[in-house]
Amino acid sequence: MEIVPDRDRPSAFTLRIDGTDQSYVDLDDPRRLEFDYMQRIADVIDAHGEAGAPLRCVHIGGAALTIPRYVAATRPRSSQTVLEPDEQVTALVRERLPLPRHSGIKIRPVDGRSGIAAMRDSLADVIVLDAFDGARIPAELTTAEFFADLGRVVADDGLVLLNIADKAPFPYARRVVRGVCDVFAHVMISAEPATLKGRRFGNVLVVASQAPLPWEALARRAASSPFPYRVLPYRDVVTTFAAKAPFTDSDSERSPAPPGGATFFS
């Protein structure tokens, strides 16, 4: 576990764990997002509700707190809870990459499954699941039972965002998406074109809500993004992407290991 300075920006650092780059943070400019999937997460959050209005956010997986810092900078007075079970990671980040005063970010030393189970109904406007054990997503965070609990905790018009990783033909991602579709009325996914075409292993962002999603606006934003990506709306998700059966607590597995091991995303 190490904090790696950016040679070109004295205020920017990467958190690396077991050879995998987990987070990139610019302390002087938390709006600067180095990882492409982080920009996609930010695009969705930016499009939710009134621009600049505070949000109630829950983050499953914390690492160096890139997205919580982004929300704190773009939506001041937001209330944010981060579920991060690795207290060593949190201690290192607090020491080397301290949060600004009055950030509204609270970190709980608990795993995502337990942390969500303890939360009251309709607590959150946005839930972001971006949790990895090394380079793989824990199996218990992508089951139908867990998604049902996320549906309980998020507000009726709120968002659930899941960052998952896979490669075409997406045997893992398709089962995750089916579980999400079984709980939420509206689902979209986004990914880099190279990932969707099966040219590379990569991140797939799943966005879900009981309320309609602004996928057309997000598709336009995707086309002009510094990291171009594609957006698939609900009709394409359910007809071409979702598998027939979701993962369950009795039939679950971790996300596939990236080719080349943990350093693939480094």
Task: For residues 179-184, give the mean pLDDT.
Answer: 98
Let me know if residue 64 belongs to a domain. Answer: yes
258 in any annotated domain:
no
Give CA–CA dist 80/86, Å, rounded: 18
231: region left, alpha or beta (phi > 0 left; psi from -120 to 50 alpha): beta
Closest listed residue to residue 30, CA positions, set 48, 46, 11 = 11
Token duo for residue 84? 């991060």
pLDDT at 30: 97
Domain range for residue 219? 36-241
Confidence band (pLDDT; 50, 70, 90) for 261? low
- Name the pLDDT band for 135 (thresholds 50, 70, 90): confident
Instruction: Say if 167 falls within a structural domain.
Output: yes
* Least confident residue range of 98-112, 192-206, 251-265: 251-265
pLDDT(129) > 60: yes
A 10 A CB-CB count for 128 gives 24
Mind listing the pLDDT tens digit for each residue in 38-88?
A: 999 999 999 999 999 999 999 999 999 999 999 999 999 999 999 999 999
The answer to the question of residue 170 being in a domain is yes
Helix/strand/coil (H, E, C) string of 59-81?
EECCCCCHHHHHHHHHCCCCEEE
Per-residue pLDDT band at 260 (split at 50, 70, 90): low
Residue 263 — pLDDT band, cuts 50, 70, 90? very low
The pLDDT-based confidence of 192 (bands split at 50, 70, 90) is very high
Tell me, what CATH number does 137's domain have?
3.40.50.150
State the average pLDDT for the chain: 94
- Asked if 66 and 23 count as a contact pair (C-beta separation under 8 A), the reply is yes
**How many domains, the chain?**
1
Reported confidence tier of residue 265, pLDDT bands at 50, 70, 90 = very low
- Lowest model confidence (mean pLDDT) among 72-76, 153-157, 218-222: 218-222
Q: Under a CB-based contact definition with an 8 Å cutoff, are residues 174 and 255 in contact?
A: no
How far is C-alpha 209 from the geometric centre of its chain's CA atoms? 15
Q: Is the pLDDT assigned to residue 141 strictly greater than 50?
A: yes
Classify residue 264: in a domain, yes or no: no
> Taking the complete model, does pTM exceed 0.75, yes or no?
yes
- The CA-based dihedral angle spanning residues 210, 79, 117, 186, taken in that order and rounded to the nearest 10 degrees: 10
Residue 11 lies in a domain: no
